[in-house]
Structures are given as C-alpha cells and as structure tokens.
Amino acid sequence: MAKRLSRWYCCVLLSLLSCTVYADLVVVVSAEAALSRIQRQELKDLYLESRNSLPGQARITPIDQSERSRERSEFYRRYIEKTPAQLRTHWARLIFTGRGQPPQALADSQAVVERLIRDPYALGYIDPDFLDERLKVVTVE
Amino acid sequence: MNKPRGPELGRDSLLPMRLWRHRLAEPMVLFSTIGLLMVLIIFSSAYFLVSREQDAIRQQIELSIGDIADTYEARVLRSLREIDATLKLVDFVASQQRSGVLDTLQERNLLPPELIFTVSIIDHQGAVKESTAPMQWAHPGGAFAALPQAPGLLVEAFASEGRQQLLFARMLTGDRDTPEWVTLTVGADYFVSGYDAGALGAQGLLALVDASNMTRIGRSGSQLYSSIAMALPAHDEILSRGDTPFLTNWLGVERTTVVRPLYLFPLSIVVGISVDERLAGAKQITRRYWQRAIVVSASALLILGLLARLSIQLQRERQLVTDERLRHTQYIEHLAFHDTLTHLPNRAYFSYLVNQAIQQQDGQENGFALLFLDLDHFKQINDSLGHDAGDQLLQVAAKRLVSTVREQDVVARLGGDEFVILLKDVTQCDQVTRVTDHLVAAMQSPFALAGESCEISVSIGVAMFPTDGGNEKTLMKCADMAMYQAKKAGKNGTRFYAVSALENL
C-alpha cells in the first residue's frame, strides 16, 4: 500500500516538475532592457491596473496577445489568476469609468518579439520557441 | 339636639372655584397630569427627531443622486462619442482603401480594445467583410434589415449567446457600387459597469433607456435587465421638467429617480436610489431614538411616581394633623357652649339661641315659650345618696327632658338642678301646658340611683314671647318668677308668668 502510494506521489511530483521545467511560456523583455526579475504582484499591477512604471524602474509598457491566443490564456491563468469573464468585467469597468485602457494586444508571439526588440521599455510574454539572443527572460518571483 | 355647635360661619361664595383648584393640587391628579404631559413631550420630540432624520436622508439622496447622474451622464456620453468617432474613423479609412481597413487601424492602435468592442465591416448582402473578431458575425437576420439606409448613427440592441449586445452602425460614405456598413458591437453591460454599490446601494438603478422608455440595459446590484419597459414620463415631459428627482416604482422597488436625455443620442440615462434601502440604513438610529424616548419617559414616570407617593404620604399626614386639630377645636368649642355633665347647651349658648329666636321671630306672628325648670328635693337626694348619684340623676333627667320635647326645641342646663327649655313656634298656653304635663310626668317616674329607686318632681315656670317680654333677660326673669310661684304653690307643677302675675296682684 505504502509502496503504491509513494509511487503515486512520485508520478505527481514528476508531472509538476515537468510543468515548471518545460514551461511553455516566458516573460521577456528586450536584451537591452535593464529589467531582469519582476514580482508577481508587479506583473499583476502592470496588466490589470494600466500602470506603465514600477517602483525603482524606468517606464514599462506591458504588451498583451490576442484574446484567442494560447499564450494569453496560459499567461492570465498562471500569473494574473483571472478568468476571461473576470477580465472582461474588470476592463469594462475601467474603460467605462475612464480609468484605464487594457495593454495593447498583438496578434501572436512573433508580433510580440518584433515589438520588444524595437522597444527596450516593452514587456511581453511569448512561447519559448520564439526566444532568441535579442530577448531576455524575466524571472517572475 | 347637639348638632348646632355654636355660631355659624359665613358661607364663601368662591367655594366651588377654590374646591376645583384644590382638586387640581391633589397629588394624584397633579402628578398624573404632569406625567402625561412629560410622556407626550418626550414622544413628540422623538417623533420630531425621527422625521427630521428621515427628511435628511431623503435630502441626501436627492443631492447624491444628482452627482451620480452627472458622472454617469458624462461617462455614457464619452463612451458613445468614442464609439461614434471609431465608426467615423473606419469610414474615413475605408474611403482611402478598399481592403485591410481594420488591420491598418489596428496596427496604429486606433481601434478600441477588442476585449470589449468588436468592429466589423458588413457588405450589402449582410456578410462580414472584415472584423476584429474571428467568428462569423452572428447577428439575427432582422438586424441587417435594420441597418441604416442613410448616413447617420443607428443604435440597436440584440441578444447573442445569452448576453445583451448593443450595435452601433453607420453606412460607409464615399464612392461605392453597393452600400456597406461599419458596425461596432459591445456587451450592453459595459454601459452599466460603472455601477458603484457604495453610492447606489444593492437596490439602486443604472439604466440606459431609448426614446420609448424601453431599457436597453439596466443594472440593480449585480442583476442585469434588458428590454423591460420603464414607466417614466414621456421624453418631452422630462426635458421640460428639468432635473428634479421623482419617485418611480420599477419591478417592485420604489426609487428616487433622475432621468437625463443624452445630447445628440436617442437614449436617456436613468439613475435610481432605493428610498427604503436608505431608510433601512437609518433604522438603527430611529430605533435608538424610540428606545431612548421609552427609557427617558419610564425613568421620568418612576421619579414622578416616587414623588407622588411621597406627596400623598405627606398630604395624608397633614390631613391627620388637620383632622386632629379640627377635632380639638370642635371639642374646645363644645366645652365652651355645653355643660360637661349632661352635654346640654350651657347658659351662654342658650342665651345665644334665645336671642337668635327673638331675632328670627321679629315681625312674625309666631312666638315661643321659655320654660324654667327646677328639680324638687334635689338637694336632699344629693346629700343622702352622694354627689355621684346626684350627677347621675341630673344626666338621666336631662335625657328624659330632651326626649320629651320636640326635635327643634332646645333643652339647656343653667347649673345645679336648674334647666331651661325653649319651645319654638308656640303661641297658645294650652300648647305649652301639653308639653309641661309631659315633662312633669316624665320626672315623676322613679330613678334608679346607686341601687335605690328614688322619686323626684319638677317645678316649671313659663314665660311667653312676645307677650311676657321682648328680650332674653326679661323672659328669663319672668320664667324664673313663674317657677318660684310654682314652688310656692306646692311644687311638682307648672305656672305661667302671666297667670302668676295676676295671682300676685
């Protein structure tokens, strides 16, 4: 019994590990950017509160992806912890009351990469397949 | 016979009023009146405070609803203008290029966030030419027919996937063979997403209504409403009425409501605040007022009750003292006017009564008789049986005399064994003789004294008023003389002054 249980635990642990190791989403900035790590709360502030700066940092422009993209749903599920419906309600309220606009949404990871290498102040999330030397992965703490 | 105690006091003409005032000062009446007044004052002031509180709340609602309506109106107008500006922008770009209009705009970030808004270009067959949303434009067939055939903004509402949507459309201008349209759809709840429960409460209302007062979208708390008619005044009436809030009852909730037609758009905003909800918030305060009123009046009544008890006790004690004093005064008065042994009127009181009788009789026919009585052989009895027996004899004799005469007649003791009787309303001697015969007979029956039976008799002298004398002194003298005659004639008999005077001659 104990043996079976421990094997089961191993399975769970392995699968969790694979999730983190083979993360199919990375938060990135231009290689020229100074930013290298970011708090999860700061990320939430950037993407939900239409902030364009962080304490102790220069201005940061968050870049979103299209509503239909896999990366976007993964990003909001994992880092921002909001469902699409919650997000809609949130932004409807902010846009209607004139307190903010959602981050600009680009079509796909490729578009995000192109935007980031042009703008050292922009921050985005992409599929790791699109990573190259012009970009820098930002660690989310 | 002992009833008249002395000279009567003059009557007070103000007595009824004094009595009334006296009644009012009585503790029970006084304190219950004060208590009633206090409770009345306390409760009416509590009522006043409560109604003032409620008025303040109503006033506050009217003030805040104006502010909320201002903000809401500005936000809706801004949103509508942004939407219309987007439509005009698409129109402008579409006049420059045939295809890729929306892509061009999106590249420059000139379209509203696709998260909320969907912009499409529709051709004359109702097919979607371009759209920011990938799915086919799932619009019910009717809406295509409703697209405007002339330049101008169209606002339509339709339901899609269970959500109320608002459609804004403009016909594209420029040179083209077939008409095309640019449309913008947005979830209708976008226009009520500014609902602030802190300001509007759980039962407030934000709504967009069209010209026929049909709700395009409404929100109360987290509940959304659409396509429900609202009983509001007609459009023109609202315009002429100004900005005064009024009461409405929509779906069972009474609200203070403000309606504002939007400038240049065929829509009005409606803002409502539930009066009951706000008053319920103040219920605690009003309940506290009532509780305080009850506590205050209860303690006031308690204090009043204690005071009343004390006062009643005090009054009772004072009454006792007064009664005691009155009894004492009466006793003193009685002593002054009565003989202590027989309790008959004494000489002074008898003299007063005789004078009174003379005064009353003045000018009238009716006279009275004055009888002077002296017990025969009283001295022997007193000497042989003792003073106590003598006193006892006098008491019994007095009782017999009183019971023999009429109620209105007066029997008095002058002292020793001498009695006088005033017989009222008699003029004839034979009337008197009947009485004196009875008196003589009453005295003749034996007395039981100190275990012995003894017999005495009485001699009576009679003087008549007014024939024998006009004043008390003369009458007494005449009666005395007549009695003396009776003694001389062998005692145990009666003599009239007039007759004895004739005899003396």
Cβ-based contacts of B112 with chain A (< 8 Å): 95
Fill in the DSSP letter of residue B190.
G
Q: Answer yes or no: are the C-beta atoms of B101 and B132 closer than 8 Å.
A: no
Kindly determine whether residue B75 and residue A97, on different chains, have CB atoms separated by under 8 Å. yes
Share of chain B above pLDDT 90, in %: 39
B149-165 average pLDDT score: 81
To test the contact with chain B by mutation, choose from A67, A95, A106, A115 the residue with the greatest count of B C-beta atoms within 10 A, namely A95
**Is pLDDT larger for residue B6 or for residue A69?**
A69
Q: What is the ipTM of this complex?
A: 0.75
Buried b (16+ CB within 10 A) or exposed e, B160-188: eeeebbbbbbbbbeeeeeeebbbbbbbbb
Cβ-based contacts of B219 with chain A (< 8 Å): none
Whether the CB of B113 is below 8 Å from some CB of chain A: the reply is yes
Residue B125 inside a domain? The answer is: no
- Calculate ∠ Cα B348-B350-B352, nearest 5°: 70
How crowded is residue B279: how many other Cβ atoms within 10 Å of its Cβ? 15
* Bond before B112 cis per omega within 30 degrees: no
User: Measured between CB atoms, which of B79, B114, B134 is closest to A96?
Assistant: B79
Report d(CA B182, CA B178) in Å as an integer: 13
How confident is the model at residue B85, as a pLDDT?
A: 95
Residue B277 inside a domain? The answer is: no
pLDDT tens string B400-452 = 999 999 998 999 999 888 999 999 888 888 889 999 999 999 998 888 887 78
Residue B437 inside a domain? The answer is: yes
Residue B475 inside a domain? The answer is: yes
Residue B187 inside a domain? The answer is: no
Residue B22 inside a domain? The answer is: no
B12-34 average pLDDT score: 77
Pairing of strands B215-220, B205-210: antiparallel
Torsion of CA B111, B113, B114, B117, to 10 degrees: -80
- Nearest alpha-carbon partner for B42 in B293, B358, B348, B361: B293
Kindly determine whether residue A95 and residue B78, on different chains, have CB atoms separated by under 8 Å. no
Kindly determine whether residue A92 and residue B134, on different chains, have CB atoms separated by under 8 Å. no
pLDDT tens string B407-418 = 989 999 998 889
Residue B189 inside a domain? The answer is: no
- Banded model confidence at residue B395, pLDDT cuts 50, 70, 90: very high
Measured CA distances, B84 to B80, B127, B139, B185 (Å): 6, 22, 20, 12
Share of chain A above pLDDT 90, in %: 28
CATH classification of the domain holding B429: 3.30.70.270
Residues 6+ apart with CB under 8 A from B294: none
User: Measured between CB atoms, which of B115, B134, B194 is closest to A88?
Assistant: B115
Amino acid at B33: T
- Banded model confidence at residue B462, pLDDT cuts 50, 70, 90: very high
Pairing of strands B494-496, B457-465: parallel
Question: On the CB side of B146, how many CA atoms lie within 13 Å of its CA?
Answer: 15
- Nearest alpha-carbon partner for B262 in B216, B195, B225: B216
Fill in the DSSP letter of residue A59.
B
A9-20 average pLDDT score: 48
pTM for the full model?
0.63
For residue B72, give both structure tokens: 């809401």
**Minimal C-alpha gap between A67 and chain B (Å):** 7
- What range defines the domain where residue B369 resides? 347-504
Interface of A with B (CB under 8 A): 66-68, 87-89, 91-93, 95-98, 101-102, 104-105
Query: What ranges in chain A are assigned the alpha helix state H?
Result: 2-21, 40-48, 70-75, 84-96, 109-118
User: Measured between CB atoms, which of A66, A87, A96 is closest to B190?
Assistant: A96
- Banded model confidence at residue B115, pLDDT cuts 50, 70, 90: confident
- Nearest alpha-carbon partner for A64 in A102, A32, A26: A102
State how many domains chain B has: 1
How confident is the prediction for chain B on average, in pLDDT? 86
Q: How many CB pairs under 8 A join A and B?
A: 42
Nearest residue of chain A to residue B71 (CA atoms) = A97
Residue B111 inside a domain? The answer is: no
